[in-house]
Chains A and B, each alone.
Chain A
Amino acid sequence: MRLDLPDLGGVDPPQPGWAKRLPADERIFLWVVLASVAVMSAFTIGWLWLGDQNPPTASYHTSAARFATKTQAFAERYKGKDGRVHVPVGKDAYLMAYRYGFYPTLVLKAGHPSRIWLSAIDTLHGFSIVGHGVNLNLQLAPNHAYGAVFTPTKPGKYLVVCNEYCGLEHHKMQITLYVER
């Protein structure tokens, strides 16, 4: 019946006794793999303190309507003649993602940390700073807000795009983030 394939290991039922204790080489292999997982895990946790890590760790519940009101009030208070919002040093800023744009246009001061509250008001959006060697991505969702502290190092114009598909005009959703000396 059979071609000269003597043992079709995966195809046939296993030989009786297959459940015996694993041979030493395989046990050692598993321990080595387990040890490397442990090392990676230790680095992952340890690097939160030892390394120079900065993902935002705090996020908050909010409501889309409340966030929009807060953003509006903030934008109107600090809006300059150029239509941009110059964030005063030490003040919290707000950036709201909606279909299809961000609001308002923020101007930050280089070298000074600013907390930017980020959220979306209608659907899932993305917050992605790209270009000029910068690449930073966060997920935005309605009713949840990030309070992320940014310390811009170099003055310039940074592109912020939405990187979560949010509808047919998704590709138009972008804003410039200004950093001034």
Chain B
Amino acid sequence: MAYVETVPAGSLREERSRYCAVTGLRIYAGAQALTVANAVCAVLAVAVGGLFGVSMALTRAPSLELLGSKGYYVALTGHGVSALVLWPVFFEVAAMVFASSVLLNARVWSMKLGWASLALMVAGAVMLETVIVSGNASVAFTAYPPLVASPVFYLGYIVFAVGVVGAIANFAMTIAAARAERTYTGSLPLLTYGVAVAAILALLAILAGLVALIPAWLYSQGWIGNVEPIVYRGWFWGLGHTLQYVNVVAMVVAWYGIIALTLGAGPVNQKFTRFGFVLYLLLTVPVLGHHFLVDPSIGTDVKIVGGSLMGFGLGVPSLMHGLAVMGGAEAHLRSRGATGLFGWLKRIDFGNAAVAALACSLLLFAVGGWSGTAQTTLQLNMLTHNTMWVPAHVHAIVVGGTTLAFMGFAYLLVPLLTQRRLWGGRLATVQAYLYGTGLLLLVVTQSWAGMLGIPRRVARVDVGADPSSWKLPMDLMGIAGAVAGLGGALFVVIMVMTLLRGARTSDPGELIRTAERTA
């Protein structure tokens, strides 16, 4: 008598699957395709965002002034939208699909919803990019009314956000289905847990964002007469600030992913780490006050408690994770025989591209965390508000921290999911260090410029007014931006070439290189 597998009702779908040669996880074809498709969109977004970014850096360099003011404000808007919103969110949605299906040996709950969400996100992204390049939306990514862009701009944001909500729903349902079908045992894996925290924060961010953007859209259509600027500003940062913590949480997930896949290391302690994720969830929303420290609209008491004090608290989980990642690697390597104070560091192969990206990401995120904490107090915020200090901070945490961590994680995930060897061999390691160095220089020069009071988000300060001390740091900033841009471009080339030309293989040793040196 033939053996007939009983299939639970409601899950009669048949789908091809394979087992990962490295992790042993069951990977369904749909989950794999959806993850890769989202990641490809992310890479395209970062390519566009990087192009805008480099052209901005070269415009702000007084010796070059590449773009005129009109072009600069197009690039300003495009850079914020592409590099700060589209790139990380596409990557985070890829992480959501991956963490809810592949990590749980499960199918994606609804492939239709998955593709529909992605289609909406792509449609929104295309609307945004085209309207920005056309010059009809030079309002910066913050779009404070009564600055007004073409309605397509706001609709692009809204359509993109609706797509993300679909992806979050699919993520939650996939976990629920995996739980019901018992495709994994016990608690959620750490990475899935972290991505779930990111997803909840993303949902909060989107809710606040819709409260800001829907009136702004109606205003751009001329259907309502007025949007109170300071109220919009509050809701917008409910989006912007919370979304930033989605990026931070996803970055931490990528850190743990990298030490797991390159060293086989876990966090020092599962409970400690999960507690850190919960702290992000609790503290993120109240801390958005730190965007308004020199605003004329809220009281000093709210600024101090919500901006400064809670802000210090929000530094705690980042400190916990930064050390727990390194501690996890250390504990693991010690258990494998590393001795002495730094013996474990010598056992790590820093020539491994993902580890190189992780090291640069940790360092730059620490720099950015410090500069962020510095400006979270009233007096220091008066020195730094809307000066180049702010982009210095943002580039350290979002580009140095999140983007580099995502790049490192992509160097592991893309080969594993596509069954192709990473293209270019050692080029990926060069990329991580080149990008990291460029960014460090960028952050240092921008911080220097910030201390001189040089404003951000301005094409130039018109001739005659520009103090002569501004020239050197801004020229160096231009050079740093070009170096970082080269590093970023290399990432895009490596990803595209891996997807198109990477040698097909299923040999685990070729797909992923362990970063542990044998003694």
> Could you tell me which A residues sit within 8 Å of B by CB distance?
1-16, 18-20, 22-23, 26, 29-30, 33-34, 37, 40-41, 44-45, 47-48, 51, 53-55, 57, 59-60, 118-119, 122-124, 126, 128-132, 134-146, 159, 161-172, 174
Contact = CB atoms under 8 A, between A and B. Distances in A.
B361 interface: no
7 contacts: A4-B514, A8-B266, A13-B188, A136-B453, A141-B230, A165-B76, A174-B461
Contact of B268 (A26, A128, A135): A26
Given A44-B304, A137-B294, A137-B385, 18 more contacts: A2-B22, A10-B191, A22-B271, A33-B316, A40-B312, A41-B309, A47-B379, A130-B455, A136-B382, A137-B384, A141-B295, A159-B465, A164-B386, A165-B458, A168-B70, A170-B73, A170-B459, A171-B460
Nearest to B325: A10
Contacts of B315: 37
Interface in B243-267: 253, 256-257, 259-261, 263-267
Contacts of B309: 41, 44-45
A139 B452 contact: no
A29 B73 CA distance: 46
Contacts of B23: 2, 5, 8, 11
Nearest to B460: A171
A9 B21 contact: no
Contacts of A141: 229-230, 233, 295-297
- Rank and list the top 8 A-B pairs by shortest CB-CB distance, nearest first: A9-B266, A135-B453, A5-B264, A163-B455, A130-B453, A10-B256, A59-B296, A18-B270
Contact of A139 (B189, B385, B454, B508): B385
Contact of B24 (A2, A135, A162): A2
Contact of A7 (B191, B264, B467): B264
Nearest to B20: A1
B190 A14 contact: yes
Contact of A37 (B313, B379, B383): B313
B296 A145 contact: yes
Contact of B453 (A134, A162, A164): A134
Contacts of B19: 1
Contacts of A2: 22-24
A150 to B, nearest CB: 12
Contacts of B455: 126, 128, 130, 161-163
A166 B297 contact: no
B296 A13 contact: no
Interface residues of B, number: 96
Interface stretch (B106-114, B155-163, B179-187, B487-495): B179-187
Contact of A143 (B230, B387, B454): B230
A125 B458 CA distance: 12
Nearest to B185: A13
Contacts of B328: 9
Given A8-B261, A10-B191, A123 B296 contact: no
Contacts of B453: 128-131, 134-137
Nearest to A8: B260
Contacts of B253: 10
B176 interface: no
Contacts of A22: 269, 271-272
Nearest to A52: B379
B189 to A, nearest CB: 5
A130 to B, nearest CB: 4
A167 B316 contact: no
Nearest to A38: B312
Given A23-B269, A55-B379, A171 B459 contact: yes
Contact of B145 (A40, A123, A163): A123
Contacts of B377: 44
Nearest to B22: A3
Given A7-B264, A124-B233, A168 B379 contact: no
Interface string B410-437: 0000000000000000000000000000
Contacts of B267: 9-10
A18 to B, nearest CB: 4
A18 B271 contact: yes
B351 interface: no
Nearest to B69: A171
A2 B461 CA distance: 59
A128 B458 CA distance: 13
A114 B461 CA distance: 27
B406 interface: no
Nearest to A141: B230
Given A161-B455, A168-B73, A7 B266 contact: yes
A51 B157 CA distance: 44
Contacts of B259: 9-10
The interface centre, meaning the residue of A54, A137, A138, A167 with most chain B CB atoms within 10 A of its CB, is: A137
Interface in B479-509: 508-509
A166 B233 CA distance: 13
B146 interface: yes
A18 B264 CA distance: 18
B471 interface: no
A61 to B, nearest CB: 9
A3 B467 CA distance: 60
Contact of A11 (B144, B257, B323, B373): B257
A118 B509 CA distance: 65
A144 B233 CA distance: 13
Interface in B340-390: 373, 377-379, 381-387
B197 to A, nearest CB: 14
A137 B456 CA distance: 12
Interface string B310-341: 00110110011001000010001000000000
A171 B23 CA distance: 54
Nearest to B253: A10
A169 to B, nearest CB: 8
A13 B295 contact: no
B140 interface: yes
